[in-house]
Structure 1
Amino acid sequence: MMTDAGASYGLWLLVFINSAVFIIFAFSFFKPQTSRDWRSFGAFSAFILALFTEMYGFPLTIFVLSGWLQSTWPDIDWLAHDSGHLPEMMFGWKSSPHFGPFHLLSFALIGGGFWLISVAWHQLWNAQRQGRLAVTGPYARIRHPQYVGFILVMLGFLVQWPTILTLAMFPVLVWMYVRLARSEEADTSARFGQVYEQYAQSVPAFIPRFAGAGNKHDSREV
């Protein structure tokens, strides 16, 4: 039987603190300026808030799936906080889920995503200050590293603590980021013309190519 969730959930102060920490952390890296930036950052913030609401506030996914979870894995207390790490629980991880393979993978994805956002913003800021196209650092491999960074962070949280709401939000947010990227490309193409067209032909939008030496553009070309 499942036990009372009172000790593990309803911790709304933790919902607020954790959401604020990650949103402010992302803000310090991304530094949104345009309306497009704010839309992408707002969507990411909504995902984070939904995640921590289920992680510490109300376990909607556990309640919705409680019948199936309890009948399939009857020995697990699904209202214990650690049981929210569904992948570890379902695959029979016996130790603390915080040291499980899915949790460690999530740390790599989240850390890599924030690193990509940070490094890409620095390159973009320098390029904008100099009035040129950003083609160095992560931009030498993909055209939209900051959007890819946000997707990696969200994917990392999904691996660590999947919920019905965040699983539903994820493809919608990816689609939104792709549309924002296309809109951004149209504006950049209008500004830089042939220089951007040549860059776009040699550098993928979201998935890097590692087989070759990479993009040959450098700051002197723009």
Structure 2
Amino acid sequence: MHNESAYGLWTLVILNSAIFIFFAFSFTKPQTKIDWRSLGAFSAFVVALFTEMYGFPLSIYFLSGWLTEKYPGVDFLSHENGHLWHTLLGFEGNAHWDPLHIASNLVIVLGFFMLASAWAVLHKAQQGRSLATTGWYARCRHPQYVAFIMIMFGFLLQWPTIPTLVMFPILVVVYVRLAKREEQMALAEFGDEYRTYMHNTPAWIPTIKTLLPDADRT
């Protein structure tokens, strides 16, 4: 018999969604329309995630026929078995201690750290109407969006759902488009200075060279 209280916990849906959205809000301190769109896209992902994690397991119901046939002895309406990767990949024991869950926690924590660090540099530059080129911005041009993508990917490693798996690539495209729009604005404002920055700094994936300490950028 499955645990009847595993889902329908809407208070936890609201509480967990609010906590992570507040964390993102406090780290990014959105000011522009682009800032708010970036935070809004992330917030939609978080709400969809926790709705299935604690509210209604839509993905499990949708896949129930296949799951029951493939894993006849597993009660997927038990909250522990909602960690689908844990079962599908054949891990045993507590799902919170399997390699994917541990990796997901590391990715999420690093993502929030990057988000906080990057936006601190960005807003300082905005206040001085200068170009952000230090900290994470010395390593890649869009660390704030990389951070959001990392956090969402980390959540997918521990609790995949159909809606979030569909939303993830869509939101990646949204962030890429927001980044391109920001670059057009930066080119209009900083001109050749930003073109030089674009030439010397990768857009999304830091190179080995830019990961090395650089006294001139600190």
Q: TM-score, normalised by structure 1?
A: 0.93
Partner of 1:20: 18
Structure 2 distance, partners of 1:213, 1:96, is: 36
In the TM superposition, 1:90-105 aligns within 5 A as 90-105=88-103
Whole-Å Cα distance in 2 between the matches of residues 218 and 173 of structure 1? 34
Q: State which of 126, 129, 132 in structure 1 corresponds to 2:130.
A: 132
Are the aligned partners of 1:110 and 1:152 in contact in 2 as well (CA < 8 Å)? yes
Map 1:55-204 to 2 at 5 A.
Answer: 55-204=53-202
Whole-Å separation in 1 of the counterparts to 2:172 and 2:210: 27
How far off is 1:6 after superposition?
A: 2.6
Name the SS for the 2:160 alignment partner: coil
Contact kept, 8 Å, 1:14 with 1:56, in 2: the verdict is: yes
Q: Specify the code of the residue in structure 1 equivalent to 2:151.
A: V
The offset of 1:74, in angstroms, is 1.4
SS in 2 for 1:206: coil
Task: Name the SS of the counterpart of 1:133 in structure 2.
Answer: coil
Aligned-pair identity (%): 53
- Counterpart of 1:52 in structure 2 is 50
Within 2, Cα distance between the matches of 1:138 and 1:14? 34
d(CA) in 2 for partners of 1:98 and 1:57? 19
How many residues align? The count is 218
* CA distance in 1 between partners of 2:138 and 2:97 (Å): 35
Verify the 8 A CA contact 1:9 1:58 in the aligned structure 2. yes
Shift of 1:211: 4.1
| 8 A contact 1:140–1:217 mirrored in 2 | no
Amino acid at match of 1:195: E
1-side partners of 2:215 and 2:150: how far apart?
Answer: 26
> Could you list the runs of 5+ residues in structure 1 that have no partner in the other structure?
none
* Closer/same/farther in 2, CA of residues 199 and 217 from structure 1, 3 Å limit: farther
Cα deviation digits, residues 15-70 of structure 1 (max 9, x gap): 00000000001100011110111111101000000000000000000000011111
> What CA RMSD, in Å, does the superposition of the two structures yield over aligned residues?
1.8
CA contact (8 A) 2:139 2:210 kept: no
Whether the 8 Å contact between 2:138 and 2:217 is mirrored in structure 1 is no
Is the 1:140–1:214 Cα contact (8 Å) retained in structure 2? no
Q: Could you tell me which runs of 5 or more consecutive residues in structure 2 were left unpaired when the two chains were aligned.
A: none
Mapped partners of 1:192, 1:176: distance in 2: 24
Q: What is the one-letter code of the residue matched to 1:141?
A: R
Letter aligned with residue 48 of structure 1:
V
